[in-house]
Chains A and B, each alone.
Chain A
Amino acid sequence: MIALPKPRVKVVMSLFMIILGVLPKDLVMIGENLVIGTLLLLIYRIPLRAFVKQLKPIAFFMLFTFLFFPLYEGGHGWIKALQYSGRLLFVAQVLTFLFYRMGIVPFLQVLAELRLPSIFIELIMFTLRFMDVFRGEVRQMLLSLRSRGFYTGKWFQVKKYRVLGGLLGSLLLRSFQRSERIYLGMLSKGYKGERKAMKTEFVSTYEWLHGALWVGCVLCLFFVGGKQ
């Protein structure tokens, strides 16, 4: 079994593969990309369930293309639906490879190592953290409402809208206040508006070549396919 490349190589090669993979319009090329994607999953022995997990959020969109394009564009619509779905499937394959045994934190770490603008990485991190805060506040407020006899099952009664309006307002205020306190927490640990990356892991030339091989395959297909 071939070992998974180091996170930095994974991120760089995945980004290149995705960019090159969404460019072709030719169905044969898209099919060949899908073969490469399948090989990628097979060679690194990535479980099928990891791929199925990635597929879930895009399955609805793929279904939509098969319903919408044939109706909107007639016979040509099927080709367009196949194009969009094929590209999406390839992206899902590469993303499965990218995030297999790599969480969001190492991903952000790699982005920092690759010297992406700090603001970009922080936006992703704070958005994720804020979602946690927001979810926590919603949970607390719903519990508080339920403890006093308000049940979500009755949400669609008109008289409940006033309560829900109030809930939404105070939810935003509470989340905002919580975020302010979290910001204070960051300042207390010396945060100065820039998230410092920890020292980077050494990546050998062999590892980079390993990644380049996969990108090269997609790149070759792109040029060979383009000349046909």
Chain B
Amino acid sequence: MDIFRFNRVSYGFTKDKPILRDISFSIREGKKTAIVGANGAGKSTILFHLNGLYTQQQGDIFFRNQKLDKKLRKELYKHVGIVFQDPDDQLISLTVSDDIAFGPVQMELSATDVKARVEKYINLLGIEHLLTDNPSELSYGQKKHVTVAGVLAMETDVFILDEPMAFLDPYGKERMASILQLLQEQGKTVVVTTHDMQFVAEWAEDVIVIHQGQCLGTFQARDLFGRYDIMKQANLTLPPIVELMTAIWKGNKEEMPIRVEEAKKWLANII
């Protein structure tokens, strides 16, 4: 079942420079979806529409087959949580605990529930020691973890992350990957935008390709890597593993390893 459906949606800050142009695609419920495209393709703008922060100028957006109107858009934050690319844009409060509690408080949860959620997610993210710190004084990675904890604490059905791996160190990336894994286990719909094609290969079930505000199609990662025309048009490059395997793979293209573990296993077998 589609949780989101975009039907010929257009949006722009000015009329002569549209960011999204007559764009149509769907996002499946409970699936891991990656939105890929070059800088300025309109990926973040799409995410802001998914959370109801932006209102399309033309076309329709459907959430669980219900057309997004003003009323539903205002309530969308209860179903869709979004983590911005730059954590500084999302840190609102003067202490970490207050910032994580912000969403649950807006959802009018009881003080006990808010406290329980703050505790649960600071433990999950391993940021217990930052609880009373001022978020603006933290490192980039710590800030990112605080914003993720803040959105996780809202326990929404859909979880959106704008470039979740950008600027994180290997440890931060590992932790982020484990959070995404956890969300998958909980059956949540997860949508991410990314430039990291290896991450797409490892993680995504559906890949939506955006180019200059238009959707070039929704693919399985394996299929997309075989579509050189689409990759070239969207200014995307193959992940290193796929590039290596394309050069040496002689068998059926559909069985070619695209993930690191798959490639390691295959190489171990033939050497």
A interface residues, Cβ below 8 angstroms from B: 103-105, 125, 128-129, 132-133, 135-136, 178, 181-182, 184-192, 196, 198-199
Contact = CB atoms under 8 A, between A and B. Distances in A.
A187 B88 contact: no
Contacts of B175: none
A189 B78 CA distance: 8
Contacts, number: 79
A125 B84 CA distance: 22
B6 interface: no
Contact of B94 (A129, A181, A186): A129
B108 interface: yes
A143 to B, nearest CB: 15
B77 A181 contact: no
A191 B84 contact: no
A125 B134 CA distance: 13
B94 A125 contact: yes
A182 to B, nearest CB: 6
Contacts of B51: 188
A136 B205 CA distance: 39
Interface string B138-170: 000000000000110010000000000000000
Interface residues of B, number: 36
Interface of B: 48, 51, 53, 74, 77-78, 81-82, 84, 86, 88-95, 98, 101-103, 105-108, 110-112, 114, 132, 134, 136, 150-151, 154
B94 A189 contact: no
Contacts of A185: 84, 89-92
Q: State the majority secondary structure of interface residues on A.
A: helix
B254 to A, nearest CB: 39
B96 to A, nearest CB: 11
B134 A132 contact: yes
